[in-house]
Structure 1
Amino acid sequence: MTLSRIKGMRGFLASSVGVTCAAALALPLALPTPAQAGPSAGTSEAAVPGSTRSLPLVPLTGTRSAAHAQGLTRRDVRPFSLVGVIWDDPSSELHGRVQVRTRATGTGHWSGWQDVETHNTHGPDPDTAEGESARMHGSTAPLWVGDSDGVEVRVEAQSDDRTTTPGESPLPKGLHLELVDPGAGPADGVQDGLRAGANTLGEPAPDAPEDDSIARTGLQSGESFATSVANADVAPLGATEIPALSKSRTELEYSAAHPDEQRAKPYVGARPHIVTRRGWGADESLRESGFVYTKKVKAAFVHHTASGNNYSCSQAPSVIRSIYRYHVKSSGWRDIGYNFLVDKCGNIYEGRAGGVTKAVMGAHTLGFNSNSMGIAVIGSFDSSKPPAAAVTGIAKLTAWKLGLFGANPRGKTYLKSGGGNLYRKGKNVRLNVISGHRDGFATDCPGQKLYGKLGSARKAAARYQGR
């Protein structure tokens, strides 16, 4: 496909209806880098889509007050790998402590009590269609526990909470435990290629999909097709990965996409290797149809998922599928909240659908989702030091994506607040181009240890841009 055809399709492909009608126009797709093409067209999709089970919490006996403690006693459940707690009102906060114990599948071994982060301050902006959806719930951060078939949970309100009337529970109404099964991963060898220190996947196949290969790529659904076509400027239809480019080739690609600019050489970093949504096994039927865009990407907010560090890099796609399902089915968002995710080995993953080069509106920094992108490092970094590979992944990703929009990683920018607990709605706020979540919202995210590495990431990203 020529660049002019791709650019002409962009507006039309903003909805799944347009994408379905555009099938004839989208094929064939030209490979940007033939030697690094994605897996071949004959690969199959995941056989198991996963599931979410929601269990209502009940008052716990034997505590100081049943109104102050809810939970579930030990019980057998269908296999799951990620847990979280949700409640009815998304504007209510859970002031207290959430702890879970889980039993590893088939072993009979129960874990110790694990804390679940209760202050989940990610989410869609107020006064947006997503933020006002009736499906929205309040929610904790999700916690990855691995393959489990037993669970116990307790939720206790803060002991000094005196904000409620006598007899009224200080806990939010409608507490439920969410048990998420991520389902089986793509049967295409992508997960086998994710390994410690790699930041690349396994050996790619040499050929791109041909012009009659919609069914062969497994893109039977309209939303799967739409998601893939949204990346048509950087990858062939049905690709599980977007190949890395050298800095010189990235600059040529940028110049071809911006023919009206007179700048001799753009400040844009080399495009990093990115695992697509198909690569990590996204079930596109879960999310809402279509995509939502903002005008540009002026800043990047760095997050941690607060889901724990007890995962291997080969498990990262499963963790992402679980978070995706938790954000959509449990929290009620239109899609996964983050625009990109980075695992502990530095592998980069496409997050919210709509195209990796585009200004896709996420649900990552409440009040500052417009004209920004959210990057989440998978893990918890309040007291754990983030791996160097993950920090490098942030730097490479921001050098490229911010460079596409002319942003300096070491610079400052202004964003208008959509409303939050730090800045009133409408206030223009001066922020670092690479900021932490806590810079836009009162939260511990992205954890003190990761937040302390953002200065290094800014310097590295600017260097990758050639500044």
Structure 2
Amino acid sequence: MRGYLASPIGVTCAAVIALPLTLPEATAAARPAASAPSATTPSPAGSTQSLPLAALGGDRALGSTAEQGLPRRDVRHFSLVGVVWDDPDTELHGSVQVRTRAAATGTWSDWQDLQTHNADHAADPDTAERTSGRVRGATAPLWVGESDGVEVRVRAEPRQTRTGTPAAAAALPTGLRLELVDPGRADDPETPPSTQTDAQPAAADDPRTDTAALNPEATTLNPDTIAASTPNSDLAPLGAAEIPELDKAQTEQELLTLRGTELTEEQRVKPYIGPRPRIVTRRGWGADESLREKNFLYTKYVKAAFVHHTATGNNYTCAQVPSLIRGIYRYHVTSMGWRDVGYNFLVDKCGNIYEGRAGGVARPVMGAHTLGFNHDSTGIAVVGSYDSKKPSESAVRAVAQLTAWKLGLFGGNPNGKTYLRSGGGNLYGKGKNVRLNVISGHRDGFATECPGGKLYGKLGSARSEAARYQGR
């Protein structure tokens, strides 16, 4: 494949964390195991059930190292599932499969695979986050919809001797736990009506909840919401559910206001920047701001954009995406020990764009998306799995619109190349100055399958379209 060395099959692309501080007490309190909960309705605020896995099969001594899981059981309602383990440096060589029971119908799903190889899902080497002792190894999370029953099995892959004959299976990581995430319900309306849909979208993929009617001045904002909204206050009122789109002339004028003293003379005369797209804010998708680390972390520039997929599966409607993002956010922070959701932005299949990591959509927020290259870059995750499924035209268009604007704020040419210094990874050693596409896929900076072959194959189109939006 283009742009990367031989990558381990199955490595996926959840975000990679950078420099978290101390996790909130509410996060730590969610870690103990839940004890055989009975089925109940979801918590309005959201919750995480963390269940330790046990040996499966007749030989429990063998099972503890080679096969673990949980038999079918009733649990409290959840919508997103993943498996975590103690040591983030340990890879899970094997398979993780889950079956879930739909709360509405009582129907059990078929076995579904969770993507397990995620060596790229770790803090950058030598960062404070890396030595905190809070980060865990994890699978990618899987969106299953509202469920109240679960069954899971984790099997180590067989090893072979030098002669090719089967040997004992590799040991599984220690401390395996099943994480069942209930994303809760947002107090505010969720996704604004989609302005971009496929030519023939499914009815369920056209979100109709109207956040434009939300009046922030008439709504009580708590301090955490105000803190998260303040970095966007140049673009929208405090507590706004969305940042509205601007035409190109308005965006060029805004660029002079936001970064006038930092612009070159060439940028002032000819500001290559795409029209600002509509962006659903953290309040718009219902982020619980008490979960994340309170401080924001910034770099100096945004020189490149890395495109990812969330690997959460494609069985979602666009109206469910705010809940899905709340689930990913809670999984990243509460289950995996990260400071915030790892991506700077997320894009759904209807072309809706969402603010990810807090700190301001127009600012160079340090994300946690590409191990070794989180500095001076932004991470954009397309919601879904795109190894074998093509991304929608709306999603690719939204990536182009977002990058045309975001990179344009810092003078980036979507069709160009740039240099980033590696913080260390499995493709490039620490300190190496690497020449990359200004719009790259995750696999260009790390040996991974992310963002999936089908989405990676669309990046050329996204680059050309983004450059056109900039007027190049």
Secondary structure, counterpart of 1:450 in structure 2: helix
Q: Alpha-carbon deviations, 1:134-169, whole Å to 9, x = none?
A: 210000000000010000001111112679xx9996
CA distance in structure 2 between the partners assigned to 1:362 and 1:113 by the alignment: 33
- Tell me which of 220, 226, 233 is aligned to 1:218: 220
1:306 alignment partner in structure 2: 311
- Counterpart among 299, 302, 312 of residue 297 in structure 1: 302
CA 1:139–1:182 in 2, change beyond 3 Å: closer, same or farther?
same
- Cα distance between partner residues in 1 of 2:306 and 2:100: 32
Q: CA deviation at 1:130?
A: 2.6
Distance 1:426-1:444 versus aligned 2 partners, 3 A rule: same
Deviation at 1:217, TM superposition (A): 3.1
Matched, 1:338 2:343: yes
Paired residue secondary structure (2:232) = coil
**Partners of 1:192 and 1:466 in 2: CA distance:** 28
Give 2:99's match in structure 1, choosing from 101, 115, 122.
Answer: 101
Deviation at 1:71, TM superposition (A): 0.6
Aligned to 2:422: 417
The one-letter amino acid paired with 1:264 is: V
Q: After TM superposition, give the deviation of residue 63 of structure 1 in Å.
A: 7.6
Pairwise CA distance, 1:202: 5.8
Q: Which moved more, 1:223-232 or 1:302-311?
A: 223-232
Deviation at 1:300, TM superposition (A): 0.4
In structure 2, relative to structure 1, the CA distance for the partners of 1:109 and 1:204 (3 Å cut) is closer
Change (3 A) 1:339 1:123: farther
The answer to whether residue 265 in structure 2 is matched with residue 264 in structure 1 is: no
1:197 equivalent to 2:197? Answer: yes
- TM-superposed CA distance for 1:412, in Å, is 0.5
Counterpart position of 1:55: 51
| 2:113 is the alignment partner of 1:115 | yes
Q: CA deviation at 1:101?
A: 0.3
Quick one: distance in 2 between partners of 1:266 and 1:195? 26
For residue 76 of structure 1, give the secondary structure of its aligned residue in structure 2.
strand
What is the CA–CA distance in structure 1 between the aligned matches of 2:122 and 2:308, rounded to whole Å?
12
Matches within 5 A, 1:207-286: 209=216, 213=217, 216-221=218-223, 223-260=224-261, 261=263, 262=265, 263-286=268-291
State the Cα distance separating 1:117 from its structure 2 match. Answer: 0.5
- SS of equivalent to 2:361: coil
- The equivalent position to 1:78 in structure 2, one of 54, 60, 76, is 76
Counterpart Cα distance in 2 of 1:331 and 1:447: 22
- Any residues of structure 2 matched to 1:393-412 within 5 Å, and which? 393-412=398-417
> Are the equivalent residues in 2 in contact too, given 1:76–1:149 (CA < 8 A)?
yes
Matched position secondary structure for 2:378: strand
- Structure 2 counterpart of 1:68, from 66, 69, 89: 66
Using the aligned pairs only, state the percent identity.
Answer: 65
Native 8 Å contact 1:122 1:337 kept in 2: no
For the 8 Å contact 1:338–1:364, the answer to whether it is kept is: yes
Amino acid at match of 2:147: S
Q: Tell me the secondary structure at the aligned position of residue 365 of structure 1.
A: coil
Unaligned runs of 5+ in 2: 1-20, 22-41, 199-205
> Secondary structure of 1:314's partner?
helix
Output the TM-score relative to the length of structure 1.
Answer: 0.84
Question: 2: distance between equivalents of 1:466 and 1:251?
Answer: 12
Q: Deviations over 1:52-105 (max 9, x none)?
A: 011111111148941211111111100000000000001111111110000000
Note if contact 1:186-1:279 (Cα within 8 Å) is conserved in structure 2: no
How far the C-alpha of 1:128 sits from its partner, in A, is: 1.9
Distance change >3 Å, CA 49–CA 266, structure 1 → 2: same
1:257 Cα deviation from its structure 2 partner: 2.5
Whether the 8 Å contact between 2:158 and 2:168 is mirrored in structure 1 is: no
CA displacement at 1:107 relative to structure 2: 2.1
Render the CA deviation track for 1:337-376: whole Å, top value 9, x for unaligned: 0000000101000000000000001111111100001000
Amino acid in the other structure paired with 1:197: T
Displacement of 1:194: 4.6
In 1, the alpha carbon distance for the partners of 2:80 and 2:214 equals 36
Do the aligned residues in 1 keep the contact of 2:212 with 2:241 (CA within 8 Å)? Answer: no
Q: Give how far 1:291 is off.
A: 0.3
SS at match of 1:180: strand
Q: CA deviation at 1:290?
A: 1.0
1:384 CA drift (Å): 0.4
Residue 193 of structure 1: how far off its partner (Å): 2.8
Q: Secondary structure at the match of 1:374?
A: strand
Alpha carbons of 1:200 and 1:103: their partners in 2 closer, same or farther (altered >3 Å)?
closer
Equivalent in the alignment of 2:453: 448
Q: Aligned to 2:451, what secondary structure does the other structure show?
A: coil
Shift of 1:208: 6.2
- Indicate the residue corresponding to 1:145 in structure 2: 144
- Indicate the SS of the match to 1:288: coil
Other structure's SS at 1:92 match? coil
Residues 150 and 122 from structure 1, CA distance in 2 versus in 1: closer, same or farther, beyond 3 angstroms?
A: same
Q: CA deviation at 1:254?
A: 0.6
Whether contact under 8 Å (1:124, 1:365) holds in the other structure is no
Give the gaps of 5 or more residues in structure 1: 1-14, 16-45
Q: What's the TM-score once normalised by structure 2's chain length?
A: 0.83
Name the structure 2 match of 1:320: 325
Structure 2 matches for 1:359-378, cutoff 5 A? Answer: 359-378=364-383
Secondary structure class of the residue paired with 1:324: helix
State how far apart, in whole Å, the 2-side matches of 1:79 and 1:432 are: 43
Q: CA RMSD for the aligned pairs?
A: 2.4
Q: CA deviation at 1:435?
A: 0.4
